[in-house]
Amino acid sequence: MAFPDASAADAAGNAPERATSNWNIPNLITVVRILLAPLFMWMLLADNGADTWLRWAAGVLFILAIATDGVDGAIARRRNLVTELGKLLDPIADKVLTGAALISLSILGELPWWVTVLILVREIGITVFRFVKISDGVIPASHGGKLKTTMQGVAISFALMPFWIVFGTWVYWLDGVLMTIAVILTVVTGLEYLWQAWRRNRASHG
């Protein structure tokens, strides 16, 4: 009995797919994003938040780091490098970086602690809930959730960068408006996620 040649199977595209390695570029970018968080905090707090070059550098570092969230995801999907480890690390990296920025701003007295606590409780709580309920199926991120993430990044970036030096004190007002929008979206999308989870659970047991 003749067996098909392995090379022929490969050429025909019928060879079994190999498991994607966890040690790939998207996951490496995600790990780097986590490691940048303590460096970013040190740069922002080193001069007690003074409007020096370190503050500008900290703001730029945050913006570059938060921007890699879209980069690693795009690379993973385009090159078929999506892994379970990546799915686990990606939201953790976002929360670590965002949390580092919010906590630092509150330490400097530039952001009320209740805002930081509210956002972190929502983000960490939903992340933990998602992992606990992952066996029941993942609830995809809504458009509101994606908008929330974008607004958080924009609001924090504006709060970090000392634009008031260049454009004047009206920038403080803009910072407040952006952060208020981010907080509202954070709360609303958190409640929306829990509502969707409750409806899905009720439907599966109905």
- What pLDDT does 153 receive? 93
Per-residue exposure over 43-70, b if at least 16 CB sit within 10 Å of its own CB, e if not: bbbeeebeeeebbbebbebbeebbebbe
Give the chain's domains with CATH numbers: 22-133+140-197 (1.20.120.1760)
Closest listed residue to residue 165, CA positions, set 62, 59, 36, 66: 59
User: In the predicted model, what is the mean pLDDT of residues 99-113?
Assistant: 96
The answer for residues whose C-beta is within 8 angstroms of residue 116's C-beta and 6 or more apart is 102, 103, 105, 106
Predicted TM-score of the model (pTM): 0.80
Residue with tokens 């109905």: 206
Residues 6+ apart with CB under 8 A from 183: 115, 118, 119
pLDDT class for 86, splitting at 50, 70, 90?
A: low
Residue 139 has pLDDT above 80, yes or no: no
26 or 155, which is more confident?
155
pLDDT band for position 205 (50/70/90)? low
